Amino acid sequence: MLATAYANDAGTVDHTTGFAPKRSPDADGLELRGIAGPTRTFEAKEHVFREGDAVTHVYQVEAGHVCIYKMLSDGRRQVIDFAYPGDFIGLGAMHEHGCNAQATSRARIRLMPVVTLRQVMRDDALLGMKLYEAISRELLAARELLMTVSQRTAMERVASFLVALSRRNARRGEDPREFVLPMTRNDIADFLGLTIETVSRTFTKLRAEGLIDLAQSVLVTIVDPASLEEFAEGRTH
Amino acid sequence: MLATAYANDAGTVDHTTGFAPKRSPDADGLELRGIAGPTRTFEAKEHVFREGDAVTHVYQVEAGHVCIYKMLSDGRRQVIDFAYPGDFIGLGAMHEHGCNAQATSRARIRLMPVVTLRQVMRDDALLGMKLYEAISRELLAARELLMTVSQRTAMERVASFLVALSRRNARRGEDPREFVLPMTRNDIADFLGLTIETVSRTFTKLRAEGLIDLAQSVLVTIVDPASLEEFAEGRTH
DNA sequence: CGTCCCGTTGAGGCGGTTCAAAGTGCGTGG
DNA sequence: CCACGCACTTTGAACCGCCTCAACGGGACG
């Protein structure tokens, strides 16, 4: 039985990459460490997999950040998700990957062969349930993003993006008020269905209205969380 | 073992509702009939469940059509999917539903209690796999819709909507060139992130350019499938 | 026949894009 | 250590695609 292997013993530094360990990953404590195969380190901009690749593994980010995106033939890009340490990537792909996964910064990633995954899902109902829940969360997130991109204004999109990052940090036991953006304006723009100019202007406006502060372009401080959430929910006309 | 219960014996008319039987559902032949509980008939506009409702069942549409959508507090609506006969709805919800499900026309729906679902997923790896695949398809669809809504023009959105319906019909063994839209312009607009006026204008334009024909507002005939797909993929500037 | 709902069409306005240019931070090499 | 180049960000101005508001048409139903 593999059911005892979920023990969250994250606490040691990976000396091969020098990453600081993260305390509580998003995936409700489920870790492939001890269950699955080895890790691999991907450099910034390196792809973990690409759309159309045969599915060979399921991946779990252990350190760094990964950008999941889809492309249109003419270059238009849609960022689907930013994977943080603890997050799974590559779940739900059946035969070939339906999107691309690219490290935004150096990332350490654990690999689990899909054959192992299938076998484990047969043998271990609890793990199967965990993966079902992980993919369910991805579905929820995709639909929430759809709502954001399709229905909200630029202001509301950026606000809800920041609120989501803040909540994610809170869940991970990090500071929900001040954090570093692990992605570029371009990534944010392609995530929210805006241009980088609009994203930049909107950040500026949020700062001008005193809802956030930007000491550097990547360092966000949420000054007025309540008002930011109002904006995010569209309750501020 | 429940593994033998998947046999697709759809072929009898349900005399309680008078629905014509559908030949091949979308969910790769997986049917809850014989595994799960009874069916219930929902009238047009009746809700199967609402956002925030406790999750009590998983549902499979057997006849009719169901509109899945989310709402913002100020009334903005995002349609997430249109469920056809054979499609599951309510999958992936953990404790409470994250969206609403409303019959667009009278619909017969099979109900399976979640407790049964959980038990079956433990006991029957194959069924668990099938449900994992069903939710994976939903994730794929959500991301594809995200791409469409976020990156494509009105013309491209409507074109890809029609192409998707056409392919769906082809998969179901029905006519991919001529079909009835089981939803209103309003539903389509909220699905594609447009207004009903823009949807209407775009249909008119597609007809004017000879790509489709509209004998009635709900009866679509695809005249030039190749060109329509070109539009859908954005290869036509 | 009137009402209601849905779809279509038209005219004008606006939010976000496009195009252009200047500003900022950082690694690299002289 | 500074100069330079490069990638990223910010800001400005003009444009455009879709939205808003408004009016009209047609089928279903009482």
Residues B34-58: tens digit of each pLDDT: 666 899 999 999 999 999 999 999 9
Closest chain B CA to residue A77: B151
**pLDDT at site B132:** 86
User: Does residue B21 lie in a domain region?
Assistant: no
For the cut 70, the answer to whether the pLDDT of residue B25 exceeds it is no
Q: How many CB atoms lie within 10 A of CB B141?
A: 15
Which residues in window 28-57 of A are less than 7 A from strand C by Cβ?
none
Q: Do A93 and B136 touch (CB under 8 A)?
A: yes
**pLDDT at site A57:** 95
Cα(B79)–Cα(B171) distance, rounded to whole angstroms?
22
CB B59 within 8 A of CB B47: no
Domain identity same for B46 and B112: yes
Domain identity same for A53 and A134: yes
Cα(B29)–Cα(B7) distance, rounded to whole angstroms?
8
Q: What is the rounded average pLDDT for all residues in chain B?
A: 87
The token duo for A153 is 């204004």
Calculate mean pLDDT across residues A171-182. Answer: 95
Q: Do B151 and A80 touch (CB under 8 A)?
A: no
Domain identity same for A133 and A172: no
Cα–Cα–Cα angle for B230, B232, B235, nearest 5°?
Answer: 45
For the cut 60, the answer to whether the pLDDT of residue B237 exceeds it is no
Cα(A49)–Cα(A70) distance, rounded to whole angstroms?
12
Domain identity same for A130 and A171: no
- Minimal CA separation from A211 to chain B, in Å: 22
Positions of strand C less than 7 angstroms from a protein CB: 6-11, 15-20, 25-26
Within 8 A of B76 by CB-CB distance, chain A residues are 151-152, 234
Calculate mean pLDDT across residues A58-66. Answer: 95
Last residue of a domain, one of A139, A166, A181: A139
Cα(A193)–Cα(A70) distance, rounded to whole angstroms?
12
CA distances from B62 to A72, B57, B192 (A): 35, 15, 25
User: In which region does residue A166 sit, left (phi positive, over 0), alpha (psi from -120 to 50) or beta (all else)?
Assistant: alpha
Positions of strand D less than 7 angstroms from a protein CB: 8-13, 17-22
Nearest nt to the A186 alpha carbon by C1': D8
Within 8 A of A129 by CB-CB distance, chain B residues are 118, 121
For the cut 60, the answer to whether the pLDDT of residue B13 exceeds it is no
pTM for the predicted model, two decimal places: 0.89
CB A108 within 8 A of CB A14: yes
Within 8 A of B151 by CB-CB distance, chain A residues are 72, 76-78, 193
**pLDDT at site B32:** 66
Cα(A103)–Cα(B51) distance, rounded to whole angstroms?
35
Contacts of B139 (CB under 8 A, 6+ apart): A92, A135, A138, A139, A142
CB A72 within 8 A of CB A134: no
Domain identity same for B124 and B169: no
Which residues in window 210-229 of B are less than 7 A from strand C by Cβ?
214, 217-218
Calculate mean pLDDT across residues B168-185. Answer: 95
- For residue A163, the enclosing domain spans 152-232
User: Does residue B187 lie in a domain region?
Assistant: yes
Count how many domains chain B has: 2
Calculate mean pLDDT across residues A121-141. Answer: 86
Last residue of a domain, one of B77, B105, B139: B139
**pLDDT at site B130:** 83
User: Does residue A27 lie in a domain region?
Assistant: no
- B21 DSSP 8-state letter: P
Strand C reaches within 7 A of the A184 CB? no
CB A63 within 8 A of CB A14: yes
Name which of A73, A129, A139 is nearest B142 (Cβ-Cβ): A139
Q: Determine which of A3-7, A185-189, B27-31, B46-50 has the lowest per-residue pLDDT on average.
A: A3-7
**pLDDT at site A7:** 35
Calculate mean pLDDT across residues B21-25. Answer: 48
User: Does residue A201 lie in a domain region?
Assistant: yes
Domain identity same for A121 and A54: yes
Q: What are phi and psi of A109, to 5 degrees?
A: -130, 130
The token duo for A209 is 């209205």
**pLDDT at site B120:** 79
**pLDDT at site A137:** 94
User: Does residue A108 lie in a domain region?
Assistant: yes
Q: What are phi and psi of A40, to 5 degrees?
A: -135, 145
Domain identity same for A117 and A43: yes
Identify the CATH number of the domain in which residue B69 sits: 2.60.120.10
Domain identity same for A48 and A103: yes
User: Does residue B221 lie in a domain region?
Assistant: yes
User: Does residue A58 lie in a domain region?
Assistant: yes
Contacts of B174 (CB under 8 A, 6+ apart): none
Q: Do B73 and A98 touch (CB under 8 A)?
A: no
Calculate mean pLDDT across residues B152-168. Answer: 98
Q: Do A135 and B140 touch (CB under 8 A)?
A: no
For the cut 80, the answer to whether the pLDDT of residue A217 exceeds it is yes
At B102, the pLDDT band (50, 70, 90 cuts) reads very high
Q: For the sheet with B212-216, list strands across it.
A: B178-180, B219-222, B212-216
Cα(A157)–Cα(A170) distance, rounded to whole angstroms?
20
For the cut 60, the answer to whether the pLDDT of residue B168 exceeds it is yes
**pLDDT at site B28:** 60
Domain identity same for A110 and A88: yes
**What is the spatial distance, in angstroms and rounded to an integer, between the CA atom of A197 and the C1' atom of C23?**
14
Q: What is the DSSP string of B88-139?
A: EESTT--SB-SSEEEESS-EEEEEEEHHHHHHHHHH-HHHHHHHHHHHHHHH
Strands (E), chain B: 39-42, 47-49, 57-63, 66-71, 77-83, 88-89, 100-103, 107-113, 178-180, 212-216, 219-222
Last residue of a domain, one of A139, A170, A185: A139
Read off the pLDDT of residues B208-233 as tens digits, 9 standing for 90 and up. 999 999 999 999 999 999 999 999 98
CA distances from B51 to A26, B40, B55, B57, B70 (A): 24, 20, 10, 14, 7
Domain identity same for A131 and A188: no
Domain identity same for A134 and A225: no
Identify the CATH number of the domain in which residue B210 sits: 1.10.10.10
Domain identity same for B130 and B195: no
User: Does residue B2 lie in a domain region?
Assistant: no
End-to-end CA distance of chain B: 55
Name which of B133, B150, B234 is nearest A74 (Cβ-Cβ): B234
**What is the spatial distance, in angstroms and rounded to an integer, between the CA atom of A102 and the C1' atom of D25?**
53
Q: For the sheet with B107-113, list strands across it.
A: B39-42, B107-113, B57-63, B88-89
